[in-house]
Amino acid sequence: MHTPAADTFDPGHVVEAKLAPHALLDFDPMLRRLLGGHQLFVKQADGRWRPRGCSLGLAQCFDYADLLGPAPQG
């Protein structure tokens, strides 16, 4: 089992990542396809991650362990 690296990012930091398959299970198939690709996530003050500029009105936030291959952006 892969152990994710520690989340050392500050709130407001942006990373590019994909959601892990287990994080997509609760969404309907159409949203899974839309959310399954690489996208930008912003770290929230509570430590969770929210998709940046989500036009779908997605209120869901994700844990750092839900992100695959997070790469810092700008």
DSSP state of 32: H
DSSP 6: P
Predicted pLDDT at 18: 94
Full-model pTM: 0.80
Mean pLDDT for each 10-residue chunk of the chain (74 residues)? 73 95 90 88 94 70 92 84
Q: How far apart are CA 10 and CA 33, in angstroms?
A: 29
